[in-house]
Amino acid sequence: MQLPLVTTRWLDANLNAAELVLIDVSMRKIVGKEAIVYPTPLFIPGSKRLDLETTLCDVNSSQANAFPTEAQFTGAAQRLGINSDSIVVLYDNQGTYAAPRAWWIFQAMGVKNAFVLDGGLAQWLSEKRAVVATLAGPAAAAGDIQGALQAGLVCNSDYIFAHLASGQLAILDARSHERFLGLKPEPRAGVRSGHIPYSLNLPFAEVLDGHCFKNPEQLAQIFSKLIGSKTQPLVFSCGSGITACIILLAAVMAGYQNVTLYDGSWADWGSNATLPVA
């Protein structure tokens, strides 16, 4: 897997590249951090929009923020003009929040040339780079990209429960310490407090330095304190599968390759009374 980030400097120098597809994937609902509020819409020039809460979410699922179907993904990506040779750069307006989730969806659907803008719009603005108030127009022609869900990159509660006590998996939870320990109520009704037994806590803010990710060496030190081997299978969880992707991306930067997203995350596990809670 390629290094998943591009820098603001790289993007600024390549904004007019013919193969670039720049996508704003900002979310309306922000959980787990203080939201950055913009009085008026702002976008990096040339941005198109992809909605993670509707367009790239299986709204027919009972699960919060459910992974999109292959057909959903393919249709949305083609409408944006994404081709098999496109370079897709994803960003959000919170610095680092939703873009890693979008990146993992692209990765899981077999689109490997998709990247996250490190620091997103917030970092871009802090460097006083140009912004616009409107999105780019529709693509001149539909793209030819085809999404195909790759095996092993997304899992459900059955998979975790089957391996729970075996020691084969390391489960990392991106929620705050207070939520992980059950000291703070969950924001979703009907979801119990606590965490998946045997899981480890790595709040997503700990892999960030301001709006951006810490460097690979710093991230390797963080993960080495939690995980013994870089070959051990890692499963990432959070509240509903959004911020889990932040620490998943950080793990990839640190050199871990056997990574899986628990898409339902705690909203799924904690609302199922048949599953154990620690």
For residues 233 and 43, what is the distance between their CA atoms, to the nearest angstrom? 37
188 and 99 both lie in a single domain: no
pLDDT for the residue numbered 3: 79
Q: Are residues 16 and 117 in the same domain?
A: yes
Query: Which pLDDT band, with edges at 50, 70 and 90, does 1 fall under?
Result: very low
Residue 104: give the domain boundaries: 5-126
Structure-token pair, residue 220: 């390797």
Q: Residues 204-241, buried b or exposed e (16+ Cβ, 10 A)?
A: beebbeebbbbeeeebbebbeeebeeeeebbbbbbbbb
* 133 inside domain: no
Which of 57, 212, 238, 245 is labelled catalytic? Answer: 238
Q: What is the CATH number of the domain that holds 114?
A: 3.40.250.10
Are 115 and 164 members of one domain? Answer: no
Can you tell me the distance from the alpha carbon of 215 to that of 253, in angstroms, rounded to the nearest whole number?
8
Q: Is 155 a catalytic residue?
A: no
Task: Report if pTM > 0.85.
Answer: yes
Tokens describing residue 59: 């709204």
Q: Is 65 left (phi over 0), alpha (psi -120 to 50) or beta?
A: left
Contact 220, 254 (CB under 8 A): yes
Q: How confident is the model at residue 183 (pLDDT cuts 50, 70, 90)?
A: very high
Return the bridge partners of 155, or none. 262
pLDDT tens digits for range 153-176:
999 999 999 998 888 899 999 999
Residue 117 in 3-state DSSP?
strand
